[in-house]
Amino acid sequence: AVDGGERGVNAFLHVNTEEALAVAAEVDAIRAAGGAAAEQLHVLAGVPIAVKDLIVTIGQPTTAGSKILEGWHSPYDATVVKRLRAAKMPILGKTNLDEFAMGSSTEHSAFGPTRNPWDLDRIPGGSGGGSAAAVAAFEAPLALGTDTGGSIRQPGAVTGTVGVKPTYGGVSRYGAIAMASSLDQIGPVSRTVLDSALLHQVIGGHDPFDSTSLPDPLADLVAAARVGNIEGMRIGIIKELHGEGYQAGVENRFNESLELLKQAGAEIVEVSCPNFQYALGAYYLIMPSEASSNLAKFDGVRYGLRVLPEDGPMTIERVMGATRAAGFGAEVKRRIILGTYALSAGYYDAYYGSAQKVRTLVQRDFEAAFAQADVLISPTAPTTAFKLGEKLNDPLAMYLNDVATIPANLAGVPGLTLPGGLADEDGLPVGIQLLAPAREDARLYRVGAVLE
């Protein structure tokens, strides 16, 4: 039994074939005419792209996977979308996600789950399961995702695709509906490392509309993906991010990747990041805290849904209450409650305050590790894709999927996942994660292109 379209995958919430075909036709005409205009076309001109429905677009609805935004149209394009349009990349449609990007399975979407193209009974990861599934199912060659705690990398791992969370500030967040502003990053989803580099080069670089955007020019990531040599590079295995708790087939593919890197001339070292064990706990305080504040704007007045109370006085507070009760799903409500609790007077120091201290410790662990290694490596997720419904009623089990991806968000460092082969037990894709120091995204592409 499958729901939704696309042979049951249900990756898209909205498809915009007409506009996509019009842009493709425009590119064809420019190419056919030749001359300077044809030469100036970007290499990705005419290559269609799917966009996670957390990123706002003119001409297509943006829902964030939530009933509260159903039917809402943004009056402006996100900066990344403007850059896609400037490169003449047809925007194929908007992809499914866990509501407001909260989840690891895409089952928390208000519009039904996306399914993993490798096995329709399994989850495609989350929150960006739609983008990863669209690329894995050959529905789109490229997609955009957002990654707050792993939502680009974990779906990439379980669908056998490539995904990159850029350095914090490396890609503009302007027009990405904010979940946790200090952690969110937009990034590429693709089938090859070079494709991600090409897309990253289109969307990256400074944007005055994002106050956290890095001022420095974007490095040549495409060139890095084409170096084809990692001789003498030091690759650090993070001791705390493999072994116990990781599926045997995941470990096997991980160990094979280390062998491949050695054969390519890299030096493999082991590093220890002792504070990573607290990262998940800190994330699930910081993320809901920021989300509870960011989601306050969905008040039934400014955007989307408005539900009026059935009886009694029509005060703004009661309209807000009725709208949020009907418009938000269970996971979003859970996190708003968690976040407002963690931020409330009397608890602030104990919860939010100590989580921020852990964040500093995680950053220091990374600094120490990067003194010993140029790039760090781990499995991207502890297991292959699990079955739909398996973890839906157990939030803690769901949260544990992010154990290897979250540290990068807490520290703002870039991470890439690439397919490492199929697990022996179940024949499902395994993801290998590479991490680099902030602003050194190029290293991920250099190593990733050799490993893939």
- Interaction between residue 320 and ligand GLN (CB under 6 A): no
First-to-last CA distance in the chain? 34
79 vs 401, which CB is nearer to ligand GLN? Answer: 401
CB of 91 to ligand GLN, least distance (A): 21
> x/- site string to ligand GLN, residues 79 to 108, per CB under 6 A?
----------------------xxxx----
48 vs 150, which CB is nearer to ligand GLN? Answer: 150
β pairing state of 162-165 and 91-95: unpaired
Give residue number: closest CB to ligand GLN: 151
Q: Give catalytic status of residue 109 as yes or no.
A: no
Taking alpha carbons only, the member of 363, 335, 306, 354 closest to residue 127 is: 335
Q: Give catalytic status of residue 391 as yes or no.
A: no
DSSP state of 240: G
Q: Over 339-359, what HEC string results?
A: HHHHHCCCCCHHHHHHHHHHH
Q: Give catalytic status of residue 262 as yes or no.
A: no
Of 52, 67, 82, 94, the catalytic one is 52
- Can you list the alpha helix ranges (DSSP code H) found in 310-440? 316-327, 330-343, 354-372, 395-399, 406-411
Distance CA 282, CA 2 (A): 37
- Interaction between residue 147 and ligand GLN (CB under 6 A): yes
Range in contact with ligand GLN (rule: CB under 6 A) among 31-39, 146-154, 239-247, 366-374: 146-154
- Interaction between residue 329 and ligand GLN (CB under 6 A): no
Taking alpha carbons only, the member of 382, 374, 377 closest to residue 432 is: 377
Instruction: Give the count of residues interacting with ligand GLN (CB under 6 A).
Output: 15
- Interaction between residue 365 and ligand GLN (CB under 6 A): no
Out of 199, 287, 295, 369, the only residue in the binding site for ligand GLN (CB under 6 A) is 287
Helix (H) or strand (E) holding 23: helix 17-33
- Interaction between residue 145 and ligand GLN (CB under 6 A): no
Out of 66, 96, 131, 148, the only residue in the binding site for ligand GLN (CB under 6 A) is 148
> x/- site string to ligand GLN, residues 239 to 278, per CB under 6 A?
----------------------------------------
- Interaction between residue 129 and ligand GLN (CB under 6 A): no
Measured from the Cβ of residue 394, the count of other Cβ atoms closer than 10 Å reads: 10
Report whether the peptide linkage leading into residue 127 is cis, meaning its omega lies within 30 degrees of zero: yes
Of 66, 104, 131, 151, the catalytic one is 151
With beta carbons less than 8 A apart as the criterion, state whether 225 and 195 touch. Answer: no
Range in contact with ligand GLN (rule: CB under 6 A) among 22-30, 109-117, 149-157, 317-325: 149-157
User: Can you state the percent helix, strand and coil of the chain, rounding each to 5?
Assistant: 40, 15, 45
Of 66, 74, 109, 127, the catalytic one is 127
Q: Residue 110: what are its φ and ψ, rounded to 5°?
A: -75, -5
Using CB under 6 A as the binding rule, the residues of this chain from 384 to 413 that contact ligand GLN are 402
With beta carbons less than 8 A apart as the criterion, state whether 86 and 181 touch. Answer: no
> x/- site string to ligand GLN, residues 179 to 198, per CB under 6 A?
x-------------------
Site residues (CB under 6 A) for ligand GLN?
101-104, 126-127, 146-151, 179, 287, 402
Please give the positions annotated as active site.
Answer: 52, 127, 151
